Chain A
């Protein structure tokens, strides 16, 4: 690999384009710069003003870091949003992982292939909005089956989604229901790729199942685990659809998450600059957390990923 210095000496950028490998990556780079980098810069710039729907055409006043200060000091919903987002990332993903692993182990034993498995993919593969609508029905306090069963058995009607202290956890459970099959599929594939003789040898040597699990299976599927976890963690930050459809961030703002807050501030209240500030902080938070998390995971996994 030639050092950066030597390239700079000889070749001008335009000359680089003659080389096909640079030419091939250019369209993607141009696209990403136009559609990602430029909007992000614009986002940051917008957050320093006070752009709302009302002064959209006229021009917005510059207010510096005021949006950020307001967010951090005055706006309690912001901290709730951060808290909830991390709940989904940490608690949600771990739950999905452990349950998915349990399922993968079970199904690896029982039903290695077959259409049952693809049926199980329904929660993960359909649009999150469909999951949201389905559960909105099931959890409805008048007509949903859970509420009706409770009423039949003499309890008061179920209104978990309207209870600020419980709502988030209900959403976490739905999130678990939705994404565990995804984890399960990846982990199952990893388990199936494992050479059987290693396990059999361990069994014959008298190793108990728990020992087998931790000492043999987990290390072997490490790269798969890494992929599954990093994939889900990155996606968990973005959670939006389910919450928007089921509670809209409520009751109050008990189930608010970062994405939801940015959207609500921006498009319900039309405080575009304020929403931009939320987005900026969200991007910073996500970047920091993801790089730390991935680095730790990478080290743990010890693979080239």
Chain B
């Protein structure tokens, strides 16, 4: 019996390593290729180890205004996150504590997550164009808020549902007005939930491609659009393409690792009602 258990554990270890390799090898390989000189990329037969060269990274930084793109991403996504969490927290609170609108309203709001961006983007484009909002950070902020608000409301509602009402009741009995209860008691307790919501909003909005593609066509490119332009019609510079991909990936991945605690919490706590 013990031998069986040992063999099973060994199998598990092997599988674990297998999975790690399966998912990480493409990432590692791409990174390695982005750091090798051009001749080695185009060499055949392929080489595993090549001298390290930063030429692609330097080249792409020179060629494209990546700092401008990153700044646009940061601004639009940051503002949208703040707006989304602000609106979502308030809505989540009324839904959690007072069941405003009952089951129907709740269901309608949550079902908005089903909406594909591609469906709403055509009318948004037409409307924004009429009011000359196209190509502005504002249009992106509105679009990203739209993208994330149903999720934020859902998350904040779940979080408020887990906070017992006794504390709020006690504060009310002590004579606090509604808003005082809210700001002094409820919000601080939900601060963790707000962090989770902000993390998710940020990630989803940052990674967006479709809204930025249509609503920020020529001037205010975000980083996702910026790197997509590396797919040129004529011969693609693979080194630069990969370098660009990793430059775009690095911030959000680092962010993800840094806040993984919140991501985990959100996925389990906030989602499971």
B138 to chain A, nearest CB (A): 12
A87 interfacial by beta-carbon distance below 8 Å? no
Total interface residues on A, CB under 8 Å, equals: 93
Q: Scan A13-28; emit 1 where CB is below 8 A from any B CB, else 0.
A: 0000000111011011
Please state if B114 and A231 are interface contacts (CB–CB under 8 Å). no
Residue in B closest to A190 when the chains form the complex, CB atoms: B268
Contacts of A106 in B (CB 8 A): 12, 15-16, 19
Q: Is the beta-carbon distance between A143 and B41 smaller than 8 angstroms?
A: yes
A286 CB → nearest B CB, Å: 5
Which residue of the partner chain A has the closest CB to B112?
Answer: A36
Q: What 0/1 pattern do residues 174 to 207 of A give for CB contact below 8 A with B?
A: 0001001100011001100100000000000000
**Residues of chain B from 88 to 118 with CB closer than 8 A to chain A in the complex:** 88, 90-91, 93-95, 97-102, 109, 111-118
Other-chain contact of B238, A137, A193, A238, A263 (Cβ < 8 Å): A137
Are A122's CB and B119's CB within 8 A?
Answer: no
* Closest B residue by C-beta to A227: B271
What's the minimum C-beta distance from A283 to chain B, rounded to whole angstroms?
Answer: 5
Contacts A118-B257, A133-B227 given; indicate if A189 touches B245 (C-beta within 8 A): no
Kindly identify which residue among B210, B231, B273 contacts A133, using a CB–CB cutoff of 8 Å.
B231
> Does A300 make an interface contact (CB < 8 A)?
no
Set of chain B residues within 8 Å of A20, measured between Cβ atoms? 178-179, 182
* B267 contacts the other chain (CB 8 A): yes
A111-125 interface mask toward B, CB cutoff 8 Å, 1 = contact, 0 = none? Answer: 100011011111101
Residues from chain A with Cβ under 8 Å of B246 in the complex: 130
Within 8 A of B (CB), among A194-246: 223-224, 227, 231, 234, 237-238, 240-241, 244-245
The smallest beta-carbon distance between A130 and chain B, in angstroms, is 5
Which listed residue, B44, B116, B127, B207, touches A42 by the CB 8 Å rule?
B127
If A120-B24, A272-B126 touch, does A283 touch B116 (CB 8 Å cutoff)? yes
Contacts between the two chains (Cβ within 8 Å), count: 262
Interface string of B252-265 (1 = CB under 8 A from A): 11001100100110
Number of residues in B with C-beta < 8 Å to the partner?
A: 91
Question: Is A11's beta carbon under 8 Å from chain B?
Answer: no
Residue in chain B with minimal CB distance to A279: B119
Determine if B23 is an interface residue (Cβ-Cβ < 8 Å).
yes
**Which residue of A has the minimal Cβ distance to B30?**
A134
Q: What does the 1/0 interface line of B172-205 toward A look like (CB < 8 Å)?
A: 0000001100100000000000000000000100
Q: How far is the CA of A30 from the CA of B208 in the complex (A)?
A: 24
Q: How long is the Cα–Cα vector from A58 to B116 in the complex, in angstroms?
A: 29
Nearest residue, chain A, Cβ from B129:
A56
What string of 1s and 0s marks CB contacts (under 8 Å) between B111-144 and chain A? 1111111111111111100000000000000100
* A138-B26, A240-B209, A241-B209 known; A283-B121 Cβ under 8 A: no
Contact between chains at A133 and B242 (CB < 8 Å): yes
| In the complex, A83 has a CB within 8 A of chain B | no
Taken together as a complex, chains A and B put the C-alpha atoms of A136 and B224 apart, in Å, by 16
Confirm or deny: B233 has a beta carbon within 8 angstroms of a beta carbon on chain A.
no
In the complex, are the beta carbons of A143 and B118 less than 8 A apart?
Answer: no
Give complex CA distance A75, B262 in Å. Answer: 46
Do A245 and B228 touch across chains, with their CB atoms under 8 A apart? yes
B16-A27 in contact (CB<8A): no
Q: Could you list 12 examples of A-B contacts with CB < 8 Å?
A: A21-B98, A42-B123, A106-B19, A122-B27, A127-B209, A129-B224, A133-B231, A136-B241, A137-B241, A224-B272, A227-B271, A263-B118
| Given A21-B93, A120-B19, 4 extra CB contacts under 8 A | A21-B100, A43-B123, A258-B116, A267-B214
Task: Return the 5 tightest CB-CB contacts between A and B, nearest first.
Answer: A259-B118, A28-B91, A127-B207, A39-B123, A279-B119
